[in-house]
Amino acid sequence: MSERYNALLKKPSSNVREGRLGSITGYNGCVSDLCERSACGSLKNRERCFSQSSMCISMCAIGQLLGIRDAAVVYHAPSGCCATASGTNVLSQQIAARIGKTNNAVLVGTDLDENDTVFGALEKLKKITLETYKTHKPNVIFLASSCVSGVIGEDVDSLAEELKNELPIPVESVHCEGFKSRIWASGFDAADHAVLRSLVKPPKEKRPVINFKNFFESERAQITEIFSEFGVTPQFLYMNSTTEELAHISESLATVCVCGTLGTYIGNGLEELYGVPYIRTINFSGIAGFETWMGRIGEVINKKNEVESFLKREKEKYLPEIEALKKELNGLTAVIGMGPGYTYEVSRVLQELGIKTVWAAAWHFDYKYDDGQNPPALRYLKEHAPNDIGLSIADMQNYEIMNIINKYKPDVYFSRHPGSTVWAIKQGVAAVYFADEYMAFGYRGMLNLAQYIYDTIRNRSFEKNLAARIKLPYTKWWYEQNNDAMLLGGAAVKEAC
């Protein structure tokens, strides 16, 4: 058993990424410079003198936990925070309905008000938690903290301990106070921490299951079918899981993830605590990604030859069409604005399609994951990209993206967040909303993505017409600045950047 994770899990709160992984939200330079600074330890966060709002870690933590179909989350927060979290509840229910299941997870808010901030509201939280159990009979209750409950020092941990003795189910605090971290992925870790502490049991046997940490499991059917060829089944985390299934994830053959940003805490935790191998390759997107990722799975589950035959068969089926489309896409330019995992994964995929990424903006950067290594997708890009890629760590700063798009005028802007996609279109640039994490899954996904990009660039009248009729709030002055004009301090980046 790992001493490190044992020590971590004794504490009710996971450490935020800024402290644990050295994560940053402000940088401007290029891929090679970022890699070098990460390796020699000279990478420093650059603060902004102006910042747009970003995202709250509570939403990431609660969004993950509401995927568990028999869980309840009591959010000790004002109604405004609860309102922003409620959308994920609806989303989880819809995703469950898609596969014929019912998601009974409930989100309950304590509606903290001015009086509560003065006199405290622990009794209110206790009453609401007991009522939640009585009404909904969940199999676990998570008590999630917000900025307000954190600032007034509500002792949610002690209450969770007390309620564990009163109720026949686990009750676990989740420290996702919004002010705790600028890195929203700290919320994923807070959820994983709570699941590891409250639900996962030590293994009794090995089972032919692969844990699959993802968001919305749109390729659930395809992945289940592929894995069945090798005698294993996927256990998706946490969307559509149950507390009973999560109790056994320590017995799985391996853990995989859509990207290291999402999977680092649970993947490394299960490996260190229970010996479940965590597969840390580049992800399944595109050709190199799918072959590397599937190849490693084959090694870990002792099905190397079977996986190789599968890959050969699939490649023969899809590669000719991919090659034909590549001819249409070759030479296009792209700007990317995504989370820190997919920025590098998608850059690699575009490179395979002959599209040149002229600038990549990642919303944050984990200079190492919980195994102490740089993100594999970034390392891969440094080693295999034909050109150094301009790069910023931009924390969803849309005004910086607009400056970058205006400067590079790419053929396509790729984003995983709809807000920034819309703004690129308003600027007259075609945009691909890479909403689905499986959009480039394997050869088939690669073909679909290539077709989608081709469709997007063939007719640009929508972007042109929209841009011609819209007055954007950005001034000529801002467009003439370097996109890092609002970043303070920091050493000069390499000239090559």
Q: Which helix (H) or strand (E) element contains residue 448?
A: helix 442-458
The answer to whether 43 contacts ligand SF4 (rule: CB under 6 A) is no
Q: Which is nearer to ligand SF4, 184 or 238 (CB)?
A: 184
Element (H, E) at 337: strand 333-338
CA–CA distance, 336 with 441 (Å, rounded to integer)? 18
Minimum distance from CB of 256 to ligand SF4 (Å)?
A: 30
Give strand pairing partners of 142: 73, 172
Selected range binding ligand SF4 among 7-15, 76-84, 104-112, 349-357, rule: CB under 6 A: 76-84
Question: What's 145's DSSP letter?
Answer: E
Q: Which of 77, 171, 334, 336 binds ligand SF4 (CB under 6 A)?
A: 77
CA count, 13 A, side-chain hemisphere, 326: 16
56 binds ligand SF4 (CB under 6 A): yes
Residue 63 CB, shortest distance to ligand SF4, in Å, is: 12
Indicate whether 74 belongs to the interface with ligand SF4 (CB under 6 A). Answer: no
Using CB under 6 A as the binding rule, whether residue 187 contacts ligand SF4 is answered as no
357 binds ligand SF4 (CB under 6 A): no
Neighbours of 136 (CB within 10 A): 15
Q: Does 107 bind ligand SF4 (CB under 6 A)?
A: no
Binding flag, residue 82, ligand SF4 (CB under 6 A):
no
Q: Which is nearer to ligand SF4, 31 or 56 (CB)?
A: 56
- From 109, 138, 178, 234, residue interacting with ligand SF4 (rule: CB under 6 A): 178
CB neighbour burial string for 193-222, b if at least 16 within 10 angstroms, e if fewer: bbbbbbbbeebeeebebbbbbbbbbbbbee
Task: Pick out residues in 115-174 that bind ligand SF4 (CB under 6 A).
Answer: 146-147
Of the two residues 146 and 255, which places its CB atom closer to ligand SF4 in the complex? 146
CA distances from 341 to 253, 263, 367 (A): 24, 10, 12
341 binds ligand SF4 (CB under 6 A): no
Number of residues this chain uses to bind ligand SF4 (CB under 6 A): 8
Least distance from ligand SF4 to the Cβ atom of residue 147, Å: 3
Q: Compute the 3-state secondary structure of the chain and give helix, strand, coil in percent, each to the nearest 5.
A: 50, 15, 35
Which residues, including other chains, have CB under 8 Å from residue 160's CB and lie 6 or more apart? Answer: 12, 143, 171, 172, 173
Binding flag, residue 198, ligand SF4 (CB under 6 A):
no
**Do 322 and 447 touch, CB atoms closer than 8 A?**
yes
Q: Is 183 in the site for ligand SF4 (CB under 6 A)?
A: no
Residues forming contacts to ligand SF4 in the complex (CB under 6 A) are 56, 58, 77, 81, 84, 146-147, 178
